[in-house]
Amino acid sequence: MPNGLTVYYLPKADYNRTYGLFTTNFGSLDTSFVPLGESEFQTFPEGIAHFLEHKLFEKEEGDVMYKFGDLGAQTNAFTSFSRTSYLFSTRENSYECTELLLDFVQKPYFTKENVEKEQGIIQQEIQMYQDDSDWRLFAGLLEKMYPDSPLAADIAGTPATINAITADDLYKNYEVFYHPKNMNLFLTGPFDIEMMSDFVRSNQAKKDFADLAEIQRKEIKASEPISGESLELEVAMPKFALGLRGEDQLSSDSKTLFKYKLANQLFLDLLFGRTSQRYEELYNSGLIDDSFGFSFDLDKRFHFAVLTADTENPQILGQTLQEAIKSYKIDRDFSEEHLDLLKREMLGDYFSSLNSLEYIANQFSSEIYGDLTFFDFPEILKGLSLSEIEKFADQFISEMKKVEFTILPK
């Protein structure tokens, strides 16, 4: 778009539903930046991105959710470390819903009164998941992996930081991060692409936005990780987490970054996935149960792996997992045959996911992979060899920092 907005259209003539996702590259990590028209960095309270997400739904004339409901649509929003997304899903009035999505996100309404009202609502939300032991395990691990950094903070903030947010703070954040240059729109459904494109272009042409220079975000710096800590909660069995904090320099090339993430996901799957012999042995020995899981998360500003499990022997499990990673090259599960099996499974999952408009939209809205898209996945996966997985795994492992965190029964 002339105003800098990136728009993706994916017509689906055989579907009866339209799905829209409007995303800004702004999340919980973006608490320190240079506001519009200023020259110095300013730090804002933790949780402000999530707070802003909540407040955009409230307008002078009422809650936007009711307007979507009147159009026969569902709407929602979510905030992550680096993104905030607003969405709708509908079987009717797709053009009206698209207009409403664009207009409510691009027309903020923040007042002292509605900010104070929201502070109480979000504090209740924060309190609600303090008893969620799985969430506390992940949050506690991140806090120990990335001390003194925005990654150690809850995406929703704390009661104290929420109370510190003002309407002026929200406008300063909005002016920078909700500029069309920093946003993308994804629309998929049974619409005519030329008509929808003209419709979106006409909507944006009616709006004026201030000139926005390149956004200056403060670099994320964390202290040395803290390992071996624990927390007591009302749980029946200890909950264990092993975090692997990536310290290696990531490539700026989109395709290499895509392959790096995929390779390390496959690396963990080869060693610990449900098709591995190690998983079967750990399960049969009682060291893990169905709660065992792992993930590899990557953003332009951080990357880490997490392995979690409910286990009666967290210390032995931690040693076993770390030893497996250390000696992976002689592991029987690290083989061409196993890789072929995993690739077939991943391709099957990928083609199944093409039936989910929500999943496709979420993949498209990510800023990480530049000019690559979700549809490049099969080709990159097929071309990824065991030796390349070894190369990328070595890159990650050679400089990673290990952190163990446990929740113990009271």
- 259 vs 272: CA distance, rounded Å: 20
Domains, the chain, ordered by start: 6-205 (3.30.830.10), 229-409 (3.30.830.10)
For residues 85, 90, 93, 94, the Cα torsion angle rounded to the nearest 10 degrees is 50
Place of tokens 């920092």: 401
pLDDT (0 to 100) of residue 304: 98
- 168 vs 162: CA distance, rounded Å: 14
For residues 146, 148, 154, 157, the Cα torsion angle rounded to the nearest 10 degrees is -170
**DSSP β-ladder status, 6-11 and 183-189:** parallel
pLDDT (0 to 100) of residue 357: 83
Residue 74, phi then psi, degrees to nearest 5:
-105, 150
Residue 271, phi then psi, degrees to nearest 5:
-80, -35
CB under 8 Å to 251, separation ≥6 — which residues?
257, 260
Enzyme catalytic residues: 53
Number of C-beta neighbours around residue 211 at 10 A: 7
pLDDT tens string, the chain, 410 residues long: the values are 889 899 999 999 888 899 999 999 999 999 999 999 888 999 999 999 999 999 999 888 889 999 999 999 999 999 999 999 999 999 999 999 999 999 999 999 999 998 988 898 888 888 888 889 999 999 999 999 999 999 999 999 999 999 999 999 999 999 999 999 999 999 999 999 999 999 999 999 999 888 888 899 998 889 999 999 999 999 999 999 999 999 999 988 888 999 999 999 999 999 999 999 999 999 999 999 999 999 999 988 999 999 999 999 999 999 999 999 999 999 999 999 999 999 999 999 999 988 888 888 888 766 556 677 888 899 999 999 999 999 999 999 999 999 999 999 98
pLDDT (0 to 100) of residue 66: 95
Tokens of 361: 């939209």
Nearest CA-CA partner of 264 in 282, 279, 244, 240: 244
Number of C-beta neighbours around residue 349 at 10 A: 9
**pTM exceeds 0.85, yes or no:** yes
